[in-house]
Amino acid sequence: MRSLKYLLRLLVYWWLPALAMLLTIAVGFVVWALGSQPGTRFLLQTVSSQFGGEVREVRGSILGGLNIGHFSLNDPAFEVLLENARLDVNWLALGSKRLQIRELSAGRVLVALHSSKEDSAPELGDEAPFAMPALPVSIALDKLAVGRFELLQDGQALPVGVSDVEAALFLGAAQAQLVLTQGRVTHEQAEVDLSADLRLSGLQDPWPLSGWVQAKARGATAESVLCVPARVQRQDTADACVLDLTVAMEGSLDTMTTTLAGSGAGLSLRAQADLLPRAPFPVRMADIVLDIAQGGSIEGKLDWSGEDGGQTPDWRAWKSNLKIRGLDLSRWLPADVPQAVISADLDVDGRLDEQGRPLDVGLDMRMGPGALWNRQAVSGSLALRADMAGPDWTTWRLPSFRSDLKVGDAGLRGNGAWGRAGDKLVLDVAVPAFGTLWPDLEGRADLKAEIEGTLQAHRLRLEGHYAPRNVLPGVVGQGPASARLNAAGAWSASTQGWRGQLSQLQAEHAGFSLALQQALPLSLDMPPGQPLQWRVGKTTLLVGLPDDQQVAIDHELSAGAGERIQSKGRIPDLVLSSGLVDKLKAAFQQADSATADARGGVVVLNERRSEQRVNLSAEWDLVVAQHLTGTVSIERRGGDILIPGEPQVALGLDKLRIEARARAAGARGSQVDIGLELQSQRVGSASGEGSLLLVRPAAGGWALSPTVPIRGALRADLADLSWLALLTGDSLEVGGSLRADVQAEGLPGKDWDIRGSVSGEKLRVVRVDDGIRLVDGRLAARFDGDRLLLDELYFPASVRVEATEWRTREWIAKESDVKNGYVKATGDWNLMASAGKIRVEMHHFPAMQRTDRYAMLSGAVEIDAALPKVSVTGSLTADAGWFGLDMLSSVPRVDDDVVVVRSMDQHVAQSSALDLSMQLKIDLGPRFYIVGLGIDAGLVGSLEITLRDGRLTGMGTLRTRAGRIEAYGQRLRLQKGILTFQGSLENPLLDIEALRNEGQVRAGVRVVGTAQRPRIDLISYPEVSDVEKLSWLLLGRGPDEGGGDTSMLLSLGASLIGGNGEPFYRRFGLDDVGIRSGSVGSSGSLLPDVTVAGSVNRTGDDDLSSQFIYASKTFADGITVGIEQALSGSETVGRIGYRLAQGLSLDLKTGTVNGLELIYRLILPD
């Protein structure tokens, strides 16, 4: 008893107060945590710290309303971020078993999900349908608002964004409701504003649902798929980029009925569907009507009622019908796609198996009126049926196929079946003009195809032809083409592969052909879990070239699997000839062209030109995978190369071989070694090698290693450089010997380091036409890094031609230093920067040696280049020289009706990309003469030639010294001869005076003005009349008193002089005075007076006998009076002409020839 009292006392005085105190503390902590701001902050920080997050800017409490500026949770599987969140709950409503949340909102919600290798899809078992558990209270969320919602999956944002969401939610014991007041979904193409009201009348399977959803979509840009393009709008409409949609639904997960209505963006949509949400294909029946404001409509129907009309429904069988009328696709197609309008009826039916996979599908399409493509009418039909009931695609069949489609004149015809033994499918495509299918395309084509049998054993035949609109035979891309192919094969289900062979392959185009000499085996394997494997077997392929050459390609093997590709083969003999090169250039329209003048032409074909032929062979054996390995080689088998010239000289090739070997180097690298070997009886020998490293980047392909340098070496001993005529042509003769030993290495895109030397002996550069002769030269050059140092290029003076001008010849014979003349060049050139300086020195060097002209020069020229800029400066002095004018009149020429075109000299005008500037001073020195055509004079002075911005100018003065001119049988002394250059080289100022110093009166001619507008006056000392000047100049005496020789003086002087900008004879009232060729008194002709045929037996003495002097005067009313006098005879004819009409004239002649002529002239345009 006493113990019981002790226990009661202990309970009352100690335990109960302690428990009460603990309870009070716990309740106080909860009230503090939920009802105060510090407590709520502490609670949130404790929760967030467990997930590695943080909380900032906490205001208020959970019980009184809470605002959080920043709240985050970080977990390896997810991340959550809330910004500007608010929670406001009416806790007093819990007394009525109702949880009322006045507001749950956030300015930004970010959810990031992270996947891991351990994640796996949950296994779906035969679990009972989910049912909402009974809740002790109902939940009412009055306001759910989110400013912006972001969802990331492994760091990648969804292509759509959600913002401005405001909704309300109610969840009771047996029903639920969601009201979406507003919400916005954005995409790069459009933004959509949503509103909805969805109600669940039961919270368990089958989840009965009713409600509606409204959406208003707007195109984000004018290029959005929602926008009607401006080019197809019939008028400006406000809803060109706006689409309103309303969806209403009623039903459950067992069956549901939906309706859809929409308008805007040029569309009007009405649809109704009966759905089976849990079925493999959820649409049981559907009707849709789509009207397009800009043209067209679509009506469709889908029915799963079964093949017997619904008596015994088979939900796996379906059929549909689609009617399209005038549907213009321009709004959905790019602007450069031709107009497309669809009008067609489509019937489609099929069946599915229990897993929803198709068993068979049938299509029947009939084009209707108004169907267009590229403004061409589209008509015809297409019907087919596909059987896919087998276990995999290898058993699929095409039981029937029928096609008769046409686009304008182009058509596709087909008929037949494929998939069973004996089946045959035939296709015939004909396109008379490609312009009917696509604008701006030209040409025509046809293709016929036949395929027989099954996938396990089939045969294919193809034949096609193509021809461009404007056929140019022999030109690639512009000539007709044809191809034929026969192949057979079989698919093996056991090996999952295809085996076959190509029995025929023929193709012809522009002089090229391709043909199989024997059947080509082919294989294709698709092993499970492995990459596709293919193989092309052994065969011989004949390639025909435009020169009628048949090149055999012995193909050994080509195969591939994934990234690995292997190929091996050889070309035993390829004849490379100059004729083949010319025809290849012509085939690819790269041949140089030279067109003769429209007057006619004579082509010099050079009968002795020999055909160059070199026989080559090639082999390859390559494997491309992670590494490149194998070899490629090209080798000469026979033939030779000819050096242009008269006669042509063979190069004397003994050996020519180029070989490349590749091997693995490192994890993803390949080392390529290249070798060159050349041996020639005439040229000498050369050998070289190089190496580079190819790497395989992660993105694929091949690239040069950026860290391993490219290396190369070349050794050459060229005994004869005459082969350079292959590059320079036969107008320039090059000779001598050259030795080189050069090594180089450098990184791609970086500077190169080049070492070695180049030396030459007995160098020879001769251009006969210009009198340039450089012989017995020597060369010493070396490479230093990226610079070429020209230590010396030296040519000694070689006097080959003895000057025919006596003063020049005499000075050369007396001047002992002439034998020590030379031309020398030194300098350096930066190979990478394409810049450098070269100095050319001349000392008594005969730069030009011809029988009609000679020039010996001394001086220096500096060439400073930084391509494309080139600057030339210097000064040259003529030690001696002369120019013979007689050669100008004696150079052979053809008559004016002949144009000569050499077949080997084909020139194409090309513009230079060089920015050339020049400042060169030329001093003619004291010994430069002009001789010939009656002129004998010294020429002194200097001229500074400048080239700036493509404009050539000259400054300086040239003067004659002790000169004379012989003309009209008289010897005139050059009293003064000055040419002053003040700019243009073509138009110097003239100040020339020549006098006949015999008799009492010194008469002569003075020429002043410019070269383009000279003024010629008669002068005399003392001053006399013009008639007397002419008499003293031509006759050496004054005119006779009777004036009998005045007419002759006027005729002879008319072509010499003039004044005040008009011919001298105009002062005497004459309109035309001159000398003509032909017969005196002839009617005249527009054709040449001298032709090739007429000049076969013609001599130079015949020219004077066919020339006569004429003078004429034209009066009003088309009357012309004239006189003609032969120069070498006594024939004289006077004539009077009268113009009757355009091209028609009357001509009266008297004198040596008498008569009356009626002449009609007709000039045809070119």
Over residues 358-376, the pLDDT tens digits come to 888 999 999 999 999 999 9
Beta 869-884 vs 928-932: how paired, if at all?
parallel
Pick 750 or 259 by higher pLDDT.
Answer: 259
Contacts 24+ apart (CB under 8 A), 1134-1141: 1135/1081
Mean predicted lDDT score pLDDT of the chain: 81
Q: Show the tokens assigned to 681.
A: 């009886």
Residue 771: name the closest of 868, 892, 854 by CA. 854
How far apart (Å, rounded) are the C-alpha atoms in residues 1071 and 773? 52
CB 1106 within 8 A of CB 1054: no
Phi-psi region of 37 (alpha: psi -120 to 50; beta: other; left: phi over 0): alpha
CB 1054 within 8 A of CB 1035: no
Residue 677: name the closest of 633, 735, 617, 621 by CA. 633
How far apart (Å, rounded) are the C-alpha atoms in residues 98 and 248? 30
Q: Show the tokens assigned to 849.
A: 């040696």
Average pLDDT over residues 303-318: 59
Pick 576 or 885 by higher pLDDT.
Answer: 576
Q: To 10 degrees, the CA torsion angle through 699, 700, 704, 705?
A: 60
Instruction: Write b or e for each residue in 467-500: b if 16 or more Cβ atoms lie within 10 A of its Cβ, otherwise e.
Output: bbeeeeeebbebbbbebbbbbbbebeeeeebbbb
Q: Show the tokens assigned to 766.
A: 């001769």
pLDDT of amino acid 19: 66
**pLDDT score of 596 more than 60:** no
Q: What angle do CA 985, 986, 992 make, to 5 degrees?
A: 95
Cβ of 847: how many Cβ atoms within 10 Å?
Answer: 20
Q: What number of helices (H) and strands (E) belong to the chain?
A: 10, 68
pLDDT of amino acid 631: 97
Of 240-249, 648-657, 684-693, 1080-1089, which one has max mean pLDDT?
684-693
**pLDDT score of 1006 more than 60:** yes
pLDDT of amino acid 699: 77
Average pLDDT over residues 1153-1164: 73
The H-or-E segment that residue 752 falls in is strand 752-767
Q: What is the pLDDT of residues 190-219, one digit of tens each?
A: 889 999 999 998 888 888 999 999 999 888
CB 1006 within 8 A of CB 992: yes
pLDDT band at 117 (very low <50, low <70, confident <90, very high): low
Residue 889's φ and ψ, nearest 5 degrees, are -90, -15
pLDDT of amino acid 312: 47
Of 217-221, 286-290, 673-677, 875-879, which one has max mean pLDDT?
673-677
Residue 521: name the closest of 551, 556, 493 by CA. 556
Beta bridge partners of 525: 497, 533
Segment among 269-278, 486-495, 605-614, 1113-1122 with least mean pLDDT: 605-614
Residue 965: name the closest of 1031, 863, 885, 906 by CA. 885
Instruction: Write b or e for each residue in 610-648: b if 16 or more Cβ atoms lie within 10 A of its Cβ, otherwise e.
Output: eebbbbbbbbbbbbbbebbbbebbbebeeebbbbbeeee
Q: What is the pLDDT of residues 435-446, one digit of tens each?
A: 999 998 889 999
DSSP labels for 558-626?
EEEETTEEEEEEEEEEEEEEHHHHHHHHHHTT-----PPPTT--EEE--TTPPPPEEEEEEEEEEEESS
Q: What angle do CA 1023, 1026, 1028 make, to 5 degrees?
A: 75
**pLDDT score of 160 more than 60:** yes
Q: To 10 degrees, the CA torsion angle through 1096, 1101, 1105, 1106?
A: 40
CB 1101 within 8 A of CB 1093: no
pLDDT of amino acid 1128: 61
Cα R_g (the chain), whole angstroms? 51
Segment among 925-934, 1044-1053, 1078-1087 with least mean pLDDT: 1044-1053
CB 202 within 8 A of CB 209: no
Residue 286: name the closest of 306, 304, 308 by CA. 304
Q: What is the pLDDT of residues 408-421, one digit of tens each?
A: 999 999 999 998 88
How far apart (Å, rounded) are the C-alpha atoms in residues 465 and 444? 8
Average pLDDT over residues 3-19: 63
Terminal CA-CA length for the chain: 150
Pick 460 or 809 by higher pLDDT.
Answer: 460
Q: What is the pLDDT of residues 12-39, one digit of tens each?
A: 655 666 666 666 666 666 666 676 777 7
Q: Would you say how long the chain is, in residues?
A: 1166
CB 90 within 8 A of CB 78: no
Residue 208: name the closest of 139, 132, 261 by CA. 132
pLDDT of amino acid 657: 94
CB 488 within 8 A of CB 472: no
Could you tell me the residue ranges of all domains in the chain?
492-590, 610-716, 1070-1091+1101-1166
How far apart (Å, rounded) are the C-alpha atoms in residues 437 and 405? 13
DSSP labels for 672-696?
EEEEEEEEETTTEEEEEEEEEEEE-
Residue 1155: name the closest of 1082, 1105, 1087 by CA. 1082
How far apart (Å, rounded) are the C-alpha atoms in residues 411 and 379? 9
DSSP three-state, residue 1099? coil
Of 464-473, 981-990, 1008-1017, which one has max mean pLDDT?
464-473
Q: What is the pLDDT of residues 620-646, one digit of tens each?
A: 999 998 899 999 999 999 888 776 655
Average pLDDT over residues 760-789: 87
Average pLDDT over residues 58-64: 82
How far apart (Å, rounded) are the C-alpha atoms in residues 964 and 941? 18
Phi-psi region of 652 (alpha: psi -120 to 50; beta: other; left: phi over 0): left
pLDDT of amino acid 116: 67
Give percent of the chain above pLDDT 90: 30
Cβ of 10: how many Cβ atoms within 10 Å?
Answer: 11
Handedness of CA 228, 230, 235, 238 (dihedral sign): positive
**pLDDT score of 552 more than 90:** yes
Average pLDDT over residues 61-65: 81
Residue 181: name the closest of 197, 192, 170 by CA. 197
Average pLDDT over residues 373-393: 89
Q: Which residue has the tokens 């997960």?
A: 253
How far apart (Å, rounded) are the C-alpha atoms in residues 518 and 320? 51
pLDDT of amino acid 1035: 72
Average pLDDT over residues 55-62: 85
pLDDT of amino acid 127: 57
Average pLDDT over residues 1096-1118: 64
Q: Which residue has the tokens 């003078």?
A: 1111
